């Protein structure tokens, strides 16, 4: 993006943390693990469940953070049961930590909202294209 890059685009959005997070992502982009963060959900019996996930970008024109997961994973049932969670993201080079909490949407083929399904399909198309391009020699 011309004229300031992703951080400039992020600052135009409403959430004040987005520009800070984007700057940290840009500054730590040389570290493969900078896209990993921890996602905590409410597990069985109201107990916390925490796992490492991979950042797949922000939903277009939004501050929503995207990840991909297998529909059979425990986190999907946990999110459907209690759609709230928190992420913790630590950047090792800059020593920055972000803790962001909010509601979580599980978007899959059963979504009644065509806009959510379209976003998921567009994102998956980009992910698949990247995976295929990365595996070709």
Provide the 3-class DSSP secondary structure of residue 91. Answer: strand
Q: Options 3.40.309.10, 2.30.110.10, 3.40.50.1820, 2.60.120.620; which CATH number does 5-106 get?
A: 2.30.110.10
* Contact indicator for 45, 57 with CB cutoff of 8 Å: no
pTM: 0.69
* Contact indicator for 78, 86 with CB cutoff of 8 Å: no
* Contact indicator for 41, 104 with CB cutoff of 8 Å: yes
* Contact indicator for 89, 21 with CB cutoff of 8 Å: yes
pLDDT tens digit sequence for 15-65: 788 889 999 999 999 999 999 999 999 988 899 999 999 998 888 888 888
- What CA–CA distance (Å, rounded) separates 37 from 55? 7
Provide the 3-class DSSP secondary structure of residue 85. Answer: strand
Per-domain boundaries in the chain: 5-106, 107-137
């Amino acid at each position: 993006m011309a004229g300031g890059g992703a951080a400039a685009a992020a600052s135009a959005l409403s959430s004040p943390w987005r520009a800070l997070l984007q700057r940290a992502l840009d500054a730590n982009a040389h570290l493969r693990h900078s896209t990993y963060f921890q996602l905590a959900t409410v597990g069985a019996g109201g107990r916390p469940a925490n796992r490492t996930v991979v950042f797949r970008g922000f939903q277009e024109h939004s501050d929503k953070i995207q990840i991909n997961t297998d529909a059979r994973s425990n986190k999907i049932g946990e999110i459907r049961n209690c759609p709230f969670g928190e992420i913790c993201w630590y950047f090792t080079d800059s020593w920055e930590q972000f803790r962001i909490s909010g509601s979580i949407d599980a978007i899959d083929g059963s979504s009644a909202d065509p806009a959510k399904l379209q976003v998921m399909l567009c994102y998956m198309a980009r992910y698949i294209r990247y995976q295929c391009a990365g595996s070709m020699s």
